[in-house]
Amino acid sequence: MIKHLSLKAYGKINLGLDVLRRREDGYHEVRMIMQTVGIFDRIDLAREEQPGIRIETNLFYLPTNENNLVYKAANLLMEEFSISEGVSIQLRKFIPVSAGMAGGSSDAAAVLFGINKMFRLGLTIRQLMERGVKIGADVPYCILRGTALSEGIGEILTPLPAAPQCQVLIAKPAINVSTRFVYTNLHADQLKPEQHPDIDSILEGIRHRDIRQVAANLGNVLETVTIKEHPVIQEIKDKMLGYGAAGSLMSGSGPTVFGLFTDPAAAEQAFEQFRSGSDSALAKQVYLTNFYNTKNTPSLEI
């Protein structure tokens, strides 16, 4: 019997994010290129005799009740399979919160994976993905991971060849952005064609293993809304490009900005500037990482 499981829940960035239209039901139809990065939350699951789901986390401001996405994920499978035992979940967050990196969705994905394994429910990855979309549009992708094209509301996923490796500098300014605000203020049908990113060129760059083509075509239609509200995002992008990034973009609805570097020394130097140098006032959380490809580490377990 499995009593404990340690899991890693990885964050993502968007190499491309386009919104095609708003559907009748209020959801937006998107076309996004997703890429997992090497920043992860740690989740420890423990099986307990006492029924119920108990959550502990290192961030005091996160809910530890049914509003936490890890609770929703555990509860979904435990109810469906009438599991009478309990589970405790220890969640250590490192992925910036409310940042456009799908941290909560990834935590939920890891818990679905973990509960399935711990209680031997026998669900396939596809069956877990079908359940994940009920928790959030990005959850199926967070189960799949790697490089992928995401369409529909995010639930139609096409795995892509792993994007060519590079250094990824991630900087989150000390501001909060509401995903709902950004989508409500985006009027995709009023955008000029040049404001939509060229997703096909990014796809081509990935298929040709050409990181420069990928970096040159990075694009996120949501920048039109978020940067207008928070010019610091543009400031960080410009700095990253000034330090030699081949491309720089806001991830998701923001405010996290990432830069792709092909020169490790330039990436390291930029990282130091944002972390403790002249640009440290611009970003609250800074990471230097890589793309994470599932071929190297296929499992969510340590």
Query: Where do contacts with ligand ATP occur on this chain (CB under 6 A)?
Result: 62-63, 67-70, 97-105, 107, 138, 179, 252-253
Name the catalytic one among 18, 41, 138, 279.
Answer: 138
Nearer to ligand ATP, 75 or 98 (CB): 98
Classify 228 as helix, strand or coil.
helix
* Distant-in-sequence, close-in-space partners of 64: CB < 8 Å, separation ≥ 6: 54, 55, 56, 57, 71
Nearer to ligand ATP, 9 or 128 (CB): 9
Q: How far is the CB of 224 from ligand ATP (least distance, A)?
A: 17
Per-residue DSSP letters for 171-192?
EE-S----HHHHHHT--GGGS-
Query: Phi first, then psi: what are they for 264, rounded to 5°?
Result: -60, -35
Q: For helices 103-118 and 69-80, give the axis angle rounded to 10 degrees.
A: 30
Q: Give catalytic status of residue 200 as yes or no.
A: no
Nearest by Cα to 237 from 257, 219, 223: 257
Give the span between the Cα atoms of 198 and 290, in whole angstroms. 23
273's enclosing H/E stretch is helix 264-276
Give the span between the Cα atoms of 70 and 243, in whole angstroms. 38
User: DSSP assignment, residue 291?
Assistant: B
- Token pair 């605000």: residue: 181
Q: Give catalytic status of residue 12 as yes or no.
A: yes
Nearer to ligand ATP, 211 or 230 (CB): 230
Q: How far is the CB of 141 from ligand ATP (least distance, A)?
A: 10
User: DSSP assignment, residue 125?
Assistant: H
For the record, the structure tokens of 170 come out as 């991630």
Q: How far is the CB of 170 from ligand ATP (least distance, A)?
A: 12
The total number of residues shown for the chain amounts to 302
Q: How far is the CB of 99 from ligand ATP (least distance, A)?
A: 4
Nearer to ligand ATP, 142 or 169 (CB): 142
Residues marked active site are found at 12, 138
